[in-house]
Amino acid sequence: MAQTTPSPAPTLTVAPPAAVALSGVGKTFELSRGRAVSALEDLDLHVAEGEFVAIVGPSGCGKSTVLRMVAGLERPSTGTVVVEGRSPRELARSHRLGVAFQEHALLPWSSIRGNVALPFHLAGRPVDAARVDELVRLVGLEGFESARPRQLSGGMRQRAAIARALVLRPDVLLLDEPFGALDAVTRRRMNRELARIWSEERITTVLVTHDVEEALFLADRVVVMTGRPGRVRHVHRVDFPRPREAAITRSPEFHEAVDLLTGLLDAEGTA
């Protein structure tokens, strides 16, 4: 009963191909004595080219695990993770990912310039000094190029980490609470800076945070996750025009959105 008639070409989806696509992703972590905990279940998430998506969720919902899977640091137990049409590990191996985690992981023995230039060394490419200088300027660290990380404040170290993440013009930028360890005032300032930097670079970005205001201020879409096992509970489109100024955080629309998302998170927290 072999079909000889040529089958029609598969219908093309209307949406442009996603830069980051998680489909039916689940992750279970093995604990001791054969017990396992399910961190994520059947999670679908698509991030378009040049889009900024923030993931918020109650603590322990596996949002960092999502980011680590996109970074190729964890493998999904079920489902697939595709970044720029390839596996995350392949993308990492071709030096196309940029990351900034809560721990800045700057090399203490290296200067700020050396740290920002590190991705060039790891990619085995000659250091583009002009690009390094440009990024040091972009994150506002000019004058501190030869300082060592421990001579700088926490905020300055995170700026250096962000400059390092951007220096190779990555296809995808992954941020895991990059300002999580900073005080509230510094954190707000860093978010304004990040919004400015991002509107200049427009890189596909996934940000993980537990701060709803931070997510709304920075992202095009905010994904609210459920508690463990994590799933997508709600996706909120953010329509504030760019470049965004601090003024939008005082608008009624902003407050309304904060209340909505905080409500969703609180419901998750008690569930």
Partner 1 sequence: MRRALGALAHYWPIAAVFVGWDLWVVLNGYTTVVAPRPGLVLADIAAEPGAYAGDLLRTLLTSLVGLVLGMGVGILAAIAVWSSAAVSGVVTPAALVLRSVPVTAMIPVIARVAGYGDSSILLIIVVVSFFPAFVLTVSGLAATPAAGRDLFGVLGAGRLRTLVRLQLPHAVPHVMVAFRLTAPSAVLAALLAEYLVGTGGLGHLFSTARSYMELERAWGTALLATVVSVLVFVLARGAERRVGARFS
Binds partner 1 by CB under 8 A, chosen from 122, 129, 235, 246: 122
| 109 contacts partner 1 (rule: CB under 8 A) | yes
Q: What secondary structure does DSSP assign to 58-96, as a single string?
A: STTSSHHHHHHHHTTSS--SEEEEEETTB-HHHHHHTT-
| 129 contacts partner 1 (rule: CB under 8 A) | no
Site string for partner 1, 56-75 (x = CB under 8 A): ------------x--xxx--
| 103 contacts partner 1 (rule: CB under 8 A) | yes
Q: Closer CB to partner 1, residue 122 or residue 235?
A: 122
Binds partner 1 by CB under 8 A, chosen from 82, 97, 212, 224: 97
Binds partner 1 by CB under 8 A, chosen from 46, 48, 79, 105: 105
Q: Closer CB to partner 1, residue 54 or residue 71?
A: 71
Residue 137 CB-half CA count within 13 A: 7
Name the CA dihedral angle for 193, 197, 202, 204, rounded to a multiple of 10 degrees: -60
First-to-last CA distance in the chain? 53
∠ CA 256-262-265, rounded to 5°: 150
Q: Closer CB to partner 1, residue 64 or residue 209?
A: 64
| 126 contacts partner 1 (rule: CB under 8 A) | no
Q: Say if CB 155 and CB 189 are below 8 A apart.
A: yes
- What does the alpha-carbon distance between residue 45 and residue 37 come to, in Å, rounded to a whole number? 21
Binding site for partner 1 (CB under 8 A): 68, 71-73, 92-95, 97, 99, 101, 103-105, 107-109, 118-119, 121-124, 174
